[in-house]
Amino acid sequence: MRSGVPTGSPRGGRAPDGFASMPGCPRRLTQRVHESPRSTTRRNAGSPPRRSGGPRPPSAPLLSRNLRALSLVETARHDGVALITLNNPPANAYSHEMHRELDAAILDARFDEKVHVIVLTGAGEKFFCAGADIEMLERVTPEWKYYFCLHANETLNRLEQTPKLVVAALNGHTVGGGLEVALAADLRWAKTNGGKLGLPEVALGVLPGTGGTARLSRMLGRSKAIELMTSGGNMSFDDAQTLGLVNELLPAENFLDAVIEKAQQYCPPHKASMAVGHIKRSVVSGLEMSFESHLSLERELQQQLFKSADAKEGFAAFNEKRKPKFEGR
């Protein structure tokens, strides 16, 4: 957990002591500077007004179109992929305000029938998401902290339960609450030599409280999860890949372009995205069931797919010895 500024508080704040020594992480988080390399932004109707502080500098078009700018979260669509960017440089520390915007962005992507894959990344080159505002945590009440964690749980559960593939594109350091966000994704693709990864909350006398203990233990098993969280150390992306926390390392040059291109391979016509979503639902929901109940869920989801246009196309293409052209339905 360990991040956040209450809604209405000034952005920025002091990064955790465990993160301050990391390259590029100042002791004081500075006023946000727009670092997104993506296309020119436009405000969506009904989105919150931008904060004062001067106009954003123009950004060069690179990846996406139809970009919608929010205060702390940016979203874009790019040929079946919804790109969600945590935008609070330099460290992209998250807050309750950011989670409210992230929640809205997740729901947007969930209801958009043209979106088949969700990619979550951080603005800039050095951080996916790192740190917390220690001054805020010291200032707010324990009750406020509790509801902050509860809402973070609800937001990340929504991301995890969305029946579309979710990829965390780790463009830089991914520590504390940032790793807890990434653990709610289905796949984690990291930039080669791009940063460190870890859950150092124990150094503050607390635990990873927005899903860290629950998701890491399910992913790595009891003993290894306890070891990593009680030691509080950070590891390289290479070591994280060895452990299974990172699925793949992609070249640092044009990293986000490569992520988008790779994510599109899970979209129609390349992949049957409805089947991808059902596979995710069977795994995520089924792991919380008994084995027999999991098998029952699997059969019901398979029956839905048997009735789909994509299954009809897949069987026909196989028998006709041609490449299928899926539609995502």
Catalytic, out of 97, 101, 125, 180: 180
Give the count of beta carbons closer than 10 Å to the beta carbon of residue 270.
Answer: 15
Non-local CB neighbours of 311 within 8 Å, separated by 6+ positions: 272, 275, 305
Catalytic, 180? Answer yes
Q: Which of 73, 35, 29 is nearest to 56 (CA)?
A: 35
Q: Which residues of 76-113 are buried (b: 16+ CB within 10 A; e: fewer)?
A: bbbebbbbbbbbbbbbbbbbbbbbbbbbbbbebbbeee
d(CA 225, CA 211): 12
Selected catalytic residue, list 97, 125, 201, 313: 201
Q: Which residue has the tokens 């990291």?
A: 190
Cβ atoms 198, 236 nearer than 8 A: no
**28 residue type, one letter:** R
Query: Which residue reads 């123009």 in tokens?
Result: 58
Q: Burial letters for 12-22: b for 16+ Cβ neighbours within 10 Å, e otherwise?
A: bbbbbebbeeb
DSSP, res 205: T
Catalytic-residue membership of 253: no
* Pairing state between β 28-29 and 127-129: unpaired
Q: What is the DSSP string of 216-259?
A: HHHHH-HHHHHHHHHH--EEEHHHHHHHTS--EEE-STTHHHHH
Residues that are catalytic: 180, 201
